[in-house]
Amino acid sequence: MLTVEEYQRRLLQAATRLPSENRPITEIGSLVGAVLDKDVRSAVPLPGFTNSAMDGYAVRAADVTTASADAPVRMTVSDDIPAGDTRQLTLRPGECARIMTGAPLPDGADAVVPVEITDGGLEIVTISEAVTAGSSVRHRGEDVQPGDTVIPAGTLLLPRHVPVLASAGLTEVAVVRRPRVAVVSTGDELLPLGERPGHGQIVDSNGPMLAALVAQGGFELAAVTRCGDTGEAVRAALTPLADSADAIITTGGVSAGAFEPLKLAFEGSGSFDFVKLTMQPGKPQGFGIIGGTPVFALPGNPVSSLVSFLVFVAPALRAMAGRSPEIARHRATVGEQWQSPPGRTQFARVVYADNGHVVRPIGGQGSHVMGGLAGCQALAIVPADVTSLSVGDEVEVISLEGLA
Amino acid sequence: MLTVEEYQRRLLQAATRLPSENRPITEIGSLVGAVLDKDVRSAVPLPGFTNSAMDGYAVRAADVTTASADAPVRMTVSDDIPAGDTRQLTLRPGECARIMTGAPLPDGADAVVPVEITDGGLEIVTISEAVTAGSSVRHRGEDVQPGDTVIPAGTLLLPRHVPVLASAGLTEVAVVRRPRVAVVSTGDELLPLGERPGHGQIVDSNGPMLAALVAQGGFELAAVTRCGDTGEAVRAALTPLADSADAIITTGGVSAGAFEPLKLAFEGSGSFDFVKLTMQPGKPQGFGIIGGTPVFALPGNPVSSLVSFLVFVAPALRAMAGRSPEIARHRATVGEQWQSPPGRTQFARVVYADNGHVVRPIGGQGSHVMGGLAGCQALAIVPADVTSLSVGDEVEVISLEGLA
């Protein structure tokens, strides 16, 4: 029997970071959620040209040093410069130009008088306050210089990185490839979604659930399929997927029965390990490498599959994507007592109270109860040496509430 | 001047929940992230047939009441019942059937003897422990009865709901439609991603950032476009989008300059409000209804756009999708002092320390600094009556770190 932590370490050793790929900047939406493989260095200065930080009048500051409410300065407005004006303009001494936020400052100008301290004149403007050189001006390159690292390698790209990525003058960005994951449910009893089961049959629920978890985790789906209960059926299903996917998740067929198809297919092959873990649920697990592709063989019931995905597969997929393997946990207080089996790390289904600060156990903790799975909002992690949780105890919790 | 809360309330009044739509169960992946419009009631019992909870031997419990290690019971194994076996079997008295987890219990059997307390025999099995009736059996309907509500209306569907949704015998599920959102950046200076700006031009960074925020928030993108700086250009861009989208987000053109295209297009039309808020950044905002479609007119600089999206647009879109409008906040401790303007609610860019428990201000708090935007991990909310944050103070924080 291995502990949860021992098995996590074993999987993380096998789940190596995927190679880098260059993605075009025009597909910037697909970059969000990927990890930068190299520093992003700007090819251009930002701003790219000296421009106005305010709506107002571009001036030489020296021309308005005497301006005050009592002795305003009147100037000829020689031009109107909207944002997007591509002309190369030069301001003549003694004149000013009406200018909009973001519009290029004309040569010769060194300050912008905000419209609020003028009369807003269109041909002649009256300025009632002095400004200093540089005032309300954004200088070319003041935010970023060419060659500056604007986002360091290893960063998980998020929406807030998009503006600087879009503006840095790049055509491509190098990111760690996101794992393409295939999901295979094993079992002759399984029907696809929407079909009506006959006696002895059930609709496959693990495949769609794992597909949703893969998508929610920020990974790509290569395939969601089912296969029968023989070793041949499993090998036939997995062999082509090992070529097209970076990782395969199977459910079912890893336990102690007479027809455990993952074991029939791979036990003793040298490429697969079947283990028992000191955990509940999720005790039987398998892991192997087929054609270089890691295969996570999870137990077949939905609750065990969900727990196994979060505890073992998600960290490994995150590591493959270049992300930190740890999935988020928080602490909460026990609001109602429950028991945990001795010598097992329990992942107990709980619901939140008091805004997530308190957790209570929900329904039966048996691994096949779907109603309880749908209703549970989090998994409380009970260490192997704890057999009883009492009101007021602190536990670590993995939330199931987030959209990602 | 309106406060942040006043403006949020105004937008939430206008952002009404979208109508329900039926989605086929076969597209279950697209249901995750949507809100249930009606209770999901199961059309079938779950489990759908009485089945074995263990790998072992289906028996009549009465036949093994005397079994013990000293006096094991030997029985004829009449059949092998794998999972997915669709035969309607009946167990003859005195016989047993080898059975797998999830396989249908034959008529006549009322218990399963786990393989672990047998010799695993294939023709004759030796059973060394008694079991009671019902032991290791999952009875038809014991988890869910037909007509039972398995997920209540109003639930945000998550991966953990997928198994019961898949298994409930439904062909369709009624969910609140997710808003299709169009994003329009205004400005003659804007070029699309990947083009090289000339003098006076910049690459549009707001559009792609807002598109990423819309996707990250669990909403659908209807369009991401740009338009020029005239009132006609804005109306021409927005009018068709009002038909195809449930909400429109624009950036730019809501400030006090001479060429504010949103104002040129809609000020005084009666369908649009332009307001100033006691907040920093994000002071100028616009909101209107065009052809029944809400239009969120955000200020044009990237930092203001991001803050305005999170504070105003995301809650409204969530409400349209039937979700709770509040976006997640947490409390953190100030690790380095900063100032906040009097009378303004400040959304200060901060970075995390100490595992998210401590925040420090980052870079310039000017609204145009893209490098600072990329580097900030969260927004700290400084109330309008607070002008100075000191080390050790507590602040509320909106994290920008999550994938969704």
Cα–Cα distance between A206 and A302 in angstroms, integer?
6
CB atoms under 10 Å from CB of A93, counted, come to 8
- Residue bearing tokens 């649009």: B272
> Residue A370 pLDDT more than 80?
no
> Residue A368 pLDDT more than 80?
no
Is-contact A137 A111, C-beta < 8 A?
Answer: yes
Write the pLDDT tens digit of every residue in B131-144.
Answer: 999 999 999 999 89
A4-16+178-320, what's its fold? Molybdenum Cofactor Biosythetic Enzyme; Chain A (3.40.980)
pLDDT band at B258 (very low <50, low <70, confident <90, very high): low
CB atoms under 10 Å from CB of B389, counted, come to 23
The pairing of beta strand B247-251 with beta strand B180-186: parallel
Tokens of B67: 């079994």
Write the pLDDT tens digit of every residue in B309-359.
Answer: 999 999 999 999 999 999 889 999 999 999 999 999 999 999 999 988 999
Cα–Cα distance between B223 and B183 in angstroms, integer?
6
Give B310's contacts (C-beta < 8 A, 6+ positions apart): B213, B327, B379, B398
The shortest CB-CB distance from A164 to any of B104, B374, B402 is to B374
pLDDT band at B377 (very low <50, low <70, confident <90, very high): very high
3-state secondary structure of B214: helix
Integer angstrom CA distances of residue A43 from A60, A157, A278, B368? 31, 19, 53, 19
CATH architecture, domain B51-138: Beta Complex (2.170)
CB–CB contact A189 B103 (8 Å): yes
The shortest CB-CB distance from B161 to any of A26, A84, A374 is to A374
CB–CB contact B205 A163 (8 Å): yes
Is-contact B189 B199, C-beta < 8 A?
Answer: no
Q: What is the mean pLDDT of residues B47-73?
A: 95
Lowest mean per-residue pLDDT among A138-152, A287-301, A312-326, B247-261: B247-261
Rg from Cα positions in chain B: 31
Cα–Cα distance between B374 and B267 in angstroms, integer?
33
CB-based contact (8 Å) between B355 and chain A? no
Can you give the pLDDT at residue A355?
86
> Residue B241 pLDDT more than 80?
yes
Cα–Cα distance between B28 and B43 in angstroms, integer?
17
Cα–Cα distance between B192 and B203 in angstroms, integer?
6
The pairing of beta strand A388-389 with beta strand A358-361: unpaired
Cα–Cα distance between A289 and A14 in angstroms, integer?
9
> Residue A365 pLDDT more than 60?
no
> Residue B288 pLDDT more than 70?
yes
Which residues sit opposite A151 in a β-bridge?
A: A40
For chain B, give every residue range classified as CATH 3.40.980.10: 4-16+178-320
Interface ipTM above 0.90 = yes
> Residue A331 pLDDT more than 90?
yes
CB–CB contact B193 A166 (8 Å): yes
B87 neighbourhood in chain A, CB within 8 Å: 199-200
Can you give the pLDDT at residue B368?
54
CB-based contact (8 Å) between A85 and chain B? yes
**Cα three-residue angle B309-B20-B271, rounded to 5 degrees:** 50
Tokens of B386: 């607070």
Can you give the pLDDT at residue A342?
96
At residue A340, φ and ψ (nearest 5 deg) are: -135, 140
Cα–Cα distance between B324 and B329 in angstroms, integer?
13
Chain A to chain B, count of Cβ pairs less than 8 Å apart? 289
Q: Which CATH number fits domain B20-44+157-176: 3.30.70, 3.30.420, 3.90.105, 1.10.3470?
A: 3.90.105
Cα within 13 Å of Cα(A277), Cβ side: 29
Q: Which residues 202-231 of B are in CB contact (within 8 Å) with A?
A: 202-206, 208-209, 211-213, 215-216, 218, 228-229
Prior bond of B208 cis (ω within 30°)? no
Closest CA to A248 of A301, A202, A304, A286: A286
For chain A, give every residue range classified as CATH 2.170.190.11: 51-138
CB–CB contact A370 B160 (8 Å): no
Q: Among residues of chain A, what percentage have pLDDT more than 90?
A: 89
Can you give the pLDDT at residue B366?
53
The shortest CB-CB distance from A189 to any of B32, B83, B164 is to B83
Write the pLDDT tens digit of every residue in A185-224.
Answer: 999 999 999 999 999 999 999 999 999 999 999 999 999 9
Q: What is the CATH number of domain A20-46+142-176?
A: 3.90.105.10
CB–CB contact A374 B160 (8 Å): yes
Any idea how long chain A is? 404
3-state secondary structure of A361: strand
CATH class of A330-399: mainly beta
Can you give the pLDDT at residue A404?
41
Q: What is the mean pLDDT of residues B11-15?
A: 95
For chain B, give every residue range classified as CATH 3.90.105: 20-44+157-176
Is-contact A164 A144, C-beta < 8 A?
Answer: yes
pLDDT band at A109 (very low <50, low <70, confident <90, very high): very high
Is-contact A275 A2, C-beta < 8 A?
Answer: yes
The DSSP annotation for A300-318 comes to SSHHHHHHHIIIIIHHHHH
For chain A, give every residue range classified as CATH 2.40.340.10: 330-399
Q: What is the mean pLDDT of residues A289-317?
A: 96
DSSP character at residue A106: P
pLDDT band at B404 (very low <50, low <70, confident <90, very high): very low
Chain B nearest-CA distance from A132, in A, is 19
Can you give the pLDDT at residue B369?
67
For residue B339, the one-letter residue type is Q
Residue of B nearest to A23 (CA): B194
3-state secondary structure of B74: strand
Q: What is the mean pLDDT of residues B139-152?
A: 94
Residue of A nearest to B85 (CA): A200
Cα–Cα distance between A366 and A203 in angstroms, integer?
20
CB atoms under 10 Å from CB of A324, counted, come to 11
Tokens of B244: 């195809």
Can you give the pLDDT at residue B370?
74
Cα–Cα distance between B241 and B239 in angstroms, integer?
5
pLDDT band at B89 (very low <50, low <70, confident <90, very high): very high
Prior bond of B281 cis (ω within 30°)? yes
CB-based contact (8 Å) between A133 and chain B? no
DSSP character at residue B57: E
Is-contact B158 B34, C-beta < 8 A?
Answer: no
CB–CB contact B202 A47 (8 Å): yes
The CA-based dihedral angle spanning residues A79, A81, A87, A89, taken in that order and rounded to the nearest 10 degrees: 50
Cα–Cα distance between A336 and B286 in angstroms, integer?
49
Q: What is the mean pLDDT of residues A107-121?
A: 96
- Residue bearing tokens 């509320």: B396
For chain A, give every residue range classified as CATH 3.90.105.10: 20-46+142-176
Q: Among residues of chain B, what percentage have pLDDT more than 70?
A: 97
Tokens of B366: 């000017």
